[in-house]
Amino acid sequence: MIRCLLGFRSPSATWPVRPRAPHGRFALWPASGCCLAALALCMVSAGCGSDSPNSAAQSEKKPAEPPAPEEFQDAAKALLGSDAQVLLYGDLAKNGNQQILAGNVVPNTPKSTVAGTVVTRAIVAENADGKWTELLRADEYLKNTSGYLGLTPLQAVTGWKLQFENSADKGMVLYFTPVKAGANEKTLPIAVKWNPATKRYQSMDLTYQHFLNEAPALANQRSTIR
Mean pLDDT of the chain: 76
Is 44 domain-assigned? Answer: no
- 214's CB contacts (< 8 A; 6+ apart) are 144, 146, 147, 148, 149, 150, 202, 223
Segments in the chain forming alpha helices (H): 34-49, 53-60, 70-80
Could you write out the DSSP letters of every residue in 16-35? --PPPPPPP--------THH
Tell me the residue range of the domain where 142 lies.
70-203
Alpha-carbon span 96 to 209, nearest angstrom: 24
* pTM of the entire predicted model: 0.68
Q: SS3 for 87?
A: strand
% of the chain beyond a pLDDT of 70: 62
126 assigned to some structural domain: yes
Q: What total of structural domains would you count in the chain?
A: 1
Residue pair 179/158 in contact (Cβ under 8 Å)? The answer is: yes
Average pLDDT over residues 59-73: 71
| Residue 105: inside a domain | yes
The answer to whether residue 215 is domain-embedded is no
pLDDT value at position 178? 93
Q: What is the mean pLDDT of residues 197-212?
A: 96
| Neighbouring C-alpha atoms within 13 Å toward the C-beta of 187 | 24
Greater pLDDT, 185 or 145:
145
Q: Which residue has the higher pLDDT, 68 or 8?
A: 68
Q: How far apart are CA 144 and CA 158, in angstroms?
A: 19
Q: Is 86 a member of any domain? A: yes
Q: Which long-range contacts (CB under 8 A, 24 or more apart) does 31-36 make?
A: none
From the list 206, 203, 209, 111, the residue with the least C-alpha distance to 161 is: 111
Q: How many residues comprise the chain?
A: 226
State phi, psi for 190 to the nearest 5 degrees. -90, 120
Give the pLDDT confidence of 105-158 residue by residue, as tens digits.
998 766 655 578 999 999 999 998 889 999 999 999 999 999 999 999 999 999
| Dist. CA 103–CA 57, nearest whole Å | 31
The pLDDT of 62-69, averaged and rounded, is 70
Residue 62 lies in a domain: no
Q: Please determine, for residue 9, whether its predicted confidence score (pLDDT) is greater than 60.
A: no
Whether 210 shows a pLDDT value over 80: the answer reads yes
Q: Could you tell me which residue, 225 or 158, shows the higher pLDDT?
A: 158
Decide which of 209 and 47 is more confident. Answer: 209
**pLDDT tens digits, one per residue of 78-112:** 999 999 999 999 999 999 999 999 999 998 766 65
**pLDDT at residue 181, as a whole number:** 61
